[in-house]
Structures are given as C-alpha cells and as structure tokens.
Amino acid sequence: MRNKSKIIVGLEVGTSKVTAIVGEIKPDNSIQILGFGRSKSVGIRKGEINDFDMTSECIYQALNEAELKANVTINELYLACTGGHIKSFSHRGDAMISGEESEVCLYDLDEVEESAKEAAIPAEDTLIHAVLQHYYVDGKEGIRNPVGQLGTKLEADYLLIHGRELRIKNAIKCVKSTGVEVYDVVFSPVAAAQTILKQDDKRHGAIMIDIGAGTTEYVVYANDAIKHAGVIAVGGEHITNDISIGLKPTSAASERLKIEHGSLLVEDMDSQELINLRGELAYEEWTVSKADLTAIMRARVEEIFELVHQDIESKGLMPYLRHGVYLTGGSSMIVGIAELAEEVFELPVNVLQGPQTNTQVPLDLNPEYSVVVGLLKYAHKVEEEKAERMPHQTLERISRRVMDFIYAMKSLIF
C-alpha cells in the first residue's frame, strides 16, 4: 500500500523522565526504531507540568538526543499525555444506514462516530480519544467490520477519553516552545497497551497497569476492544514520600530504601531485619525496621490496586479478564508486587520487566519505553487507517452529494 517509508516521533513527558523516540515505518509496514533520547524530568508532578521553563528544557534535551542518534530532524511528534484529570466512559452512537440497498458503507461509519462523539463531557474538558469498541447492525452485537452488511440502523460503542482542555493545551504548548509541532495527543496507557498487550491478551481480556513515578494508569481490553481506561494521580513518588514521612529519612534515602530494600511480601511484614542507613548524611547510626518499611509500602500499593480494582469492577469488567493483569512502569520493579496484585485482583499477574538501561534488549520488551514505543505503534495504526479510509471516503462523499442533488431535483420536478 505504501511505497515510501515514513518517520514517526513519539514523546512522553513523564514525572521522572522525558523520553523521545524516533521510528521509521518501512514499506513492508514494520517499524524500525532509529533512536531515542531521554532526560531526567524537572518541574513535573503527578504527570503534569508544574514548571514550564524547566520542563521545556528537559523536552529539548531529550528531543535533541533523539535527533542526534536517529540522524533526523524532528518537526512534529505524537505526545503521550496523562494526569489525574483524564477520565473515560463508553458511549453508544447511532446512524441510519444510508448506503445503496441498505448496505453499510464507510460514510455510515463516520456518521456513527460523529454521533458517539456528541456525548456530553464537562464544559472545561476536551475529547482526547474516541476509541471504537464494537459495531452493532440492527442490534446485532460484536461486529468488527460492518462494511457491506445489510441493515437499517448502525450503532457503535466508543470509549470516550476526555481531560481538562487547558492542561492538555499546556503540555502541547510546552512541546511547541521547543520548536516542534504536536501532531496528535495520545493518552499514555492507550499507547503503552499497544506494546504490552498482545493480540491474544486483547481478545481474551487483560488489564494493563502502568505504575509510573507520578501516576498509575490502566487500560482494560476484552473481546479485541478497549473497554476502559483510567488514571490515578498516585505513583512511585507517593511511595517514597510515605517512607520519608513514616521513617523520617531524607527524600533521597527514602528513594534508595524503596529501590534497594523495598518489599511488598507478606512475610516481610514480620521481618526482624533492621536496615542500616549508615553512609547517609546525618544518619550515622540510623536503622529502620524492614517490617515498618514493608507495612508503609504495602499500604500504599495495595490502595492503588484496590482503587483500580474498584473502578474496573464497577464497570462490570472483571469476569472478562482471562489473561489477567500486566504490570509495568518503574514501580512494578518492587519485590513482591505480583503477589500483592494477585491478592487484590484474584487474577494471574505478569510483571513486564527488562533491564534498566540496555540497548541490546529489543525496545519492545523494555517497560521503560513501553509508552513511547506504543506511541509509534499507535501512530502507525492511525496513519494506516487514515490511508485506507481517506480515498474511499472522499469518493463516496462526492458520489453521495451528486445523488442527493439528483434526488432533490427529482422532488422538485414531481
């Protein structure tokens, strides 16, 4: 279909790091990653930009590095966005089938999508995505591709993802301030799911939970369709903060405690072990109890899982998740997190972990890059769909206009 390769760029502005990735879509439809760049985030809290100038600087660094490695000039990119303000819900749109002899045509698909997007969202919000779930022709369920089917009424469920317009615009503005255009905004977990969940998982039902530094995002897939997506503005930084409040070491020491000694295992709750904080400034002979550390961390992570579980359960999706839970993101590296997730969700849990920084490992498998790689996959899909539908659509629209005109003339004459 395509005989020219195309460069796509993805950018994730996370609470702990900014990651940019450059990929090339080959003529054979495969994606090759040309390079990536990353920088440590400054000025971002809970997935949202707090300090505009500092963040802008971080984005610039990451993009610059990616440009150098990939040897391309970045002009526009796909931006992953997140934040506690983003919400999603399902809405059903409908349209009367207008094609020749009641046959569903591409034009009807557009109509039904427009109708679904008309759902009411708060005035200060903007629609980020309308992701197709399923079509219904005359009430018949679960149709993936209705084009060509006969019927009178076409309906479709869409997952509408919306968030505060100004905050999203703020993120876009921050990227633009580095001289790069934002082509599209993608909700981070929707992007990440493209890499983490395989086709099989999407069919049989699975949850992907990405516990980042500032936010925890999750997506539910079942029957080949996205069922739900959400975000809680709580992440690894909260765990660190809890530790520094509960055990009173410095913030940096808390982070080290979390990474080196952190555990969520039940047996560690009764551990007699004392962790020595020697070496930390001002903590010459300071020990903390591993049991306390575990209790603090467990309480927080358990709460995160419970909130996600409650939300998914309230949507009635728990029975459809045969492929269980996929955990990713920095905080999913904590010892015992799979056991805890299993306890809460009562489902099999897979933790997707790769080495921290190892370019030898295929990027697909490194959870650090799941969002940005997912962005490329998402972008690729969008471009593909666009290419597929555009020519048909325009032709059909024109022919429809002509037909409408003829009908109008007819009615005038008779």
Partner 1 sequence: MIEFNRDGILGEQASLPPSRIKIFGVGGVGIHCIDKMIIEGLNQMPLVSFDTRAQSLESSIAGEKVLLGKRILRGIGAGGDPESGKSAATDDEGVILSLMKDTDIVFLVGALGGGTATGGLPVFAKTARVAGIKTVSIVTLPYDFEGKRRMDDARRALDLLEEVSDCVLVLDHSRLSDLIDEIGGLRNSFESMTDLHVRAILALWRMLSFKNLAKIDFETIGKCFEQDAQTLFGYGEVRDRNVKDALGHVFSSVLMGNNILLRQADSVLMSITAGKEMTMQDVQHILDDVKLRLNPQTKIQVSASIHEDFDDRLNISVFAITPHGRPEIKPLSVVKDSAEIEMNLFQQPAKTVKEKTGSTSMASAFPNGLVESEITIKPAATVKPKKKRLEKQELIEFQKQKGRFDKTEPTMVNGVDLDIPTFMRKKIAIGAE
Q: Specify the stretch interacting with partner 1 by CB under 8 A; choose among 104-112, 145-153, 239-247, 373-381.
A: 239-247
Q: By CB under 8 A, name the one of 174, 247, 321, 372 that touches partner 1.
A: 247
How near is the Cβ of 84 to partner 1 at its closest, in Å? Answer: 6
Q: Is 232 in the site for partner 1 (CB under 8 A)?
A: yes
CB of 245 to partner 1, least distance (A): 5
Nearer to partner 1, 152 or 314 (CB): 314
Among 12, 67, 201, 242, binds partner 1 (CB under 8 A): 242
Q: Is 155 in the site for partner 1 (CB under 8 A)?
A: no
User: Which residues partner with 351 through β-bridges?
Assistant: 327
Contact call for residue 259 and partner 1 (CB under 8 A): no
Does residue 167 touch partner 1 according to CB under 8 A?
Answer: no
- Rounded distance between C-alpha atoms, residue 213 and residue 233, angstroms: 10
CB of 345 to partner 1, least distance (A): 18
Question: From the CB of 238, what's the least distance to partner 1, in Å?
Answer: 7
Q: Is 238 in the site for partner 1 (CB under 8 A)?
A: yes
The letter for the amino acid at 408 is A
Q: Closest approach of Cβ 292 to partner 1, in Å? A: 5
Q: Which of 185, 296, 337, 340 binds partner 1 (CB under 8 A)?
A: 296
DSSP string for 81-94? E--TT-EEEEEEEE
Q: Write the single-letter amino acid at 170.
A: N
Tell me if 244 contacts partner 1 by CB under 8 A: yes
By CB under 8 A, residue 43 contacts partner 1: no
Give the closest residue to 145 by CA, choosing from 196, 116, 103, 206.
Answer: 103
Task: Residue 218: name the closest of 82, 108, 353, 407 by CA.
Answer: 82
**Does 300 interact with partner 1 (rule: CB under 8 A)?**
yes
Gap between the Cα atoms of 18 and 13, Å rounded: 5
Say how many residues touch partner 1, by CB under 8 A: 28
The one among 289, 318, 322, 342 contacting partner 1 by CB under 8 A: 289
Tell me if 126 sits within 8 A of 163, measured CB to CB: yes
Cβ atoms 188, 218 nearer than 8 A? no
- How does DSSP assign 88-128, residue by residue? EEEEEEEEE--SGGGB--HHHHHHHHHHHHTS---TTEEEE
Among 241, 250, 353, 393, binds partner 1 (CB under 8 A): 241
Provide the H-helix boundaries in 159-233.
Answer: 165-176, 188-196, 199-204
- Tell me whether residue 292 or residue 364 sits nearer to partner 1 (CB atom): 292
Which of 9, 112, 233, 363 lies at the binding interface for partner 1 (CB under 8 A)?
233
Q: Which is nearer to partner 1, 76 or 280 (CB)?
A: 280
Query: Which residue, 46 or 323, has its beta carbon nearer to partner 1?
Result: 46
Instruction: Tell me which residue of 175, 170, 160, 165 sits closest to 48, measured CA to CA.
Output: 170
Are residues 325 and 349 in contact, defined by beta-carbon separation less than 8 angstroms? yes
Residue in the block written with tokens 């659509």: 393
103 binds partner 1 (CB under 8 A): no
Q: Which one of the spans 32-40, 42-50, 142-150, 318-326 is the region binding partner 1 (CB under 8 A)?
A: 42-50
Question: Which sign, positive or negative, has the C-alpha torsion 57, 63, 69, 75?
Answer: negative
CA-closest candidate to residue 193, choices 119, 109, 88: 88
Kindly tell me which residue out of 72, 265, 295, 382 binds partner 1, with binding defined by CB under 8 A. Answer: 295
**Contact 155/94 with Cβ under 8 angstroms?**
yes
Query: Residue for token digits 């089917």?
Result: 149
**What residues line the site for partner 1 (CB under 8 A)?**
45-46, 50, 84, 232-234, 237-238, 241-242, 244-248, 251, 288-289, 291-292, 295-296, 299-300, 302-303, 307
